[in-house]
Chain A
Amino acid sequence: MHPTDFTLRGALDALSEGTISSVELTQAHLDGIAKLNPRLNAYITVTAEKALAQAKASDERRAAGQVGALEGIPLAIKDLFCTAGTRTTAGSRILDSFVPPYESTISQKLLDDGAVFLGKANLDEFAMGSSNTTSASGPVENPWSRANDPDTRLVPGGSSGGSAAAVAARMALGATATDTGGSIRQPAAFCGIAGIKPTYGRCSRFGVVAFASSLDQAGPVARTVEDCAILLKSMAGFDPKDSTSADLPVPDFAKACERGVKGLRIGVPKEYRLDGMAPEIVALWEQGLQWLRDAGAETVEISLPHAKYALPTYYIVAPAEASSNLARYDGVRFGTRVTEPGSDLRDLYERTRAAGFGPEVRRRIMIGTYVLSAGYYDAYYLKAQKVRALIRRDFEQAYADVDAIVTPATPSAAFGMDEKQDDPVAMYLNDIFTVTANLAGLPGLAVPAGLDAQGLPLGLQVIGRAFDEETVFAVGRTLERAADFSALPRLRAGA
């Protein structure tokens, strides 16, 4: 077996049995990156020397009997996580040369558990996007392609498109990602891998470049549900440096994967049956529910009456918070500065931000500025916060009757790189099934479950109660086992 074909779990076992070293595993992934990254552009920065030094140190620790939970495992880190001494760009020109002097809590926890960092994964600029086409470092290509149209290059989804493409193409065993409206789950579904956005507060946001602070939540992407569970265990936990971090114990998520679903009640929201939904998405959803019934669960129709207002609510709340968070990029203390001879301070701000931010980021900052401005705050922002409360209440009422909710992950399979680029609202609709979990602060897992007629992956989503990722993993693993998803992308390391 080629070393890049291991699952994360399989690699841990092989390292433990001594059939491979972390240096060999890391080198195999670096070789895959060298071969594929010039085309896929999944990594913005490859830290080959650091990775090999970390792998060597890991092998030495293992030889000395010190074995962390992720000892020797090569990972990709989304370039939204600050990494001490390694450039962190957030996919933006404005942070083009930013080298953080500190480490994000999550990446530090992964290092503490023995992980090896291969490099920084590409993303939509400031995590704003659903196609990974807004990155200042250029678009990411999905390693999958249509069987009947292999020359059309497809998007990997976004914003964690680099993370998802790297994992799907076997250029990493797993990756960190973040999800503000669907940015873990949509790219995971588009790339045929698994990804979980945990409950808001489960993972520390310290050192993760902020987009919309009440919605942002970090999580892992990996090729199996169990691999996601292993990674989340290392990433999660209370952090005094994040005031919204939850002071709760972190369960053994991997163990929960094998719980099964016998006796669980699975909610099926009737509002998610959209007019004009692709028949293969409808069929996959039905198939997933049947798999769960076959495994002993009961499926129940539920109603989330305010779900249809989730996207417009999101497109007030998220830009409002972004306009505030991104005010810090002013060309004074760090990042890019743009001036003209004779520029005063205001001109410095305005030129820096016009040149430093791309069109989608500028657009969202302007919308956020408008909905928070005097005279419009109540009509937009306060209204959206109230609808958000209703969306959350819908879920609370549903969870009085069901243990988890299962929906499609996305309304379509991956689309072409030049599609949906002219109409922002058409792009926003990608997150129609995922965004409710962010607004309500709930955990959501995407699981690869089938292929469309063109041979592209499609995913299902499991949404759970707050801080009940364990049930989410149990349902996700049951779907994964029944789907037995074994298709492979055309572009991958070791192929």
Chain B
Amino acid sequence: MSLDTATIRRIASLARIRLDDSEVQQAQAEINGILGWIEQLQEVDTDGVEPMAGGSPVAQAKARLRPDVVTDGGQADAILANAPDRQGEYFGVPKVVE
């Protein structure tokens, strides 16, 4: 399967990555090349196989819930220290609601 330029634009939009018209064709060629190579997975018989989601079944088997209590907080200055547009105790963004 090969992705058309409209699909490439849609993916870029979903990923919130601005793609200029001049970049669409190159992205299309590269992504189709990679997807074509990945296509070989379809030949593997995976009927009845449980998908493996995490990185370690051993660790997952011992997964635990921590107590549902507040362990952190009161660090507004540390959290805002890297803000590109700090406004008081808030992150500034362009106006969203008219």
Contacts and interface: CB of A to CB of B under 8 A. Distances in A.
Given A101-B82, A201-B56, A312-B37, 16 more contacts: A101-B75, A201-B59, A214-B55, A217-B55, A246-B59, A312-B38, A332-B91, A345-B94, A369-B15, A380-B38, A383-B44, A385-B53, A388-B51, A390-B49, A441-B56, A441-B58
Contacts of A454: none
Contact of A313 (B41, B56, B58): B41
A334 B78 CA distance: 11
B39 to A, nearest CB: 8
Interface string B35-60: 10110111010100111111111111
Q: Please tell me the size bucket of the interface on A.
A: 35 or more
A367 to B, nearest CB: 6
B40 A389 contact: no
B96 to A, nearest CB: 5
A373 B60 CA distance: 26
B94 A383 contact: no
Interface string A329-353: 0111111110100011111111101
A344 B93 CA distance: 9
A370 B3 contact: yes
Interface in B1-54: 3, 7-8, 11-19, 27, 30-31, 33-35, 37-38, 40-42, 44, 46, 49-54
Given A332-B93, A366-B27, A367-B34, A312 B15 contact: no
A81 interface: no
A370 to B, nearest CB: 5
A366 B18 contact: no
B52 A388 contact: yes
A201 B60 CA distance: 10
Contacts of A367: 31, 34-35
Interface residues of B, number: 54
Interface stretch (A224-232, A237-245, A407-415): A237-245
B58 A466 contact: yes
A269 B46 CA distance: 22
A344 B17 CA distance: 14
Which of B44, B62, B81 has its CB near the most chain A CB atoms (within 10 A)?
Answer: B44
A387 B94 contact: no
A486 to B, nearest CB: 37
B74 interface: no
A200 interface: yes
18 contacts: A101-B78, A101-B79, A214-B55, A244-B55, A247-B62, A332-B84, A333-B82, A334-B82, A349-B16, A350-B13, A370-B3, A385-B52, A386-B49, A389-B52, A390-B49, A423-B33, A425-B37, A441-B55
Given A367-B35, A386-B51, A246 B41 contact: no
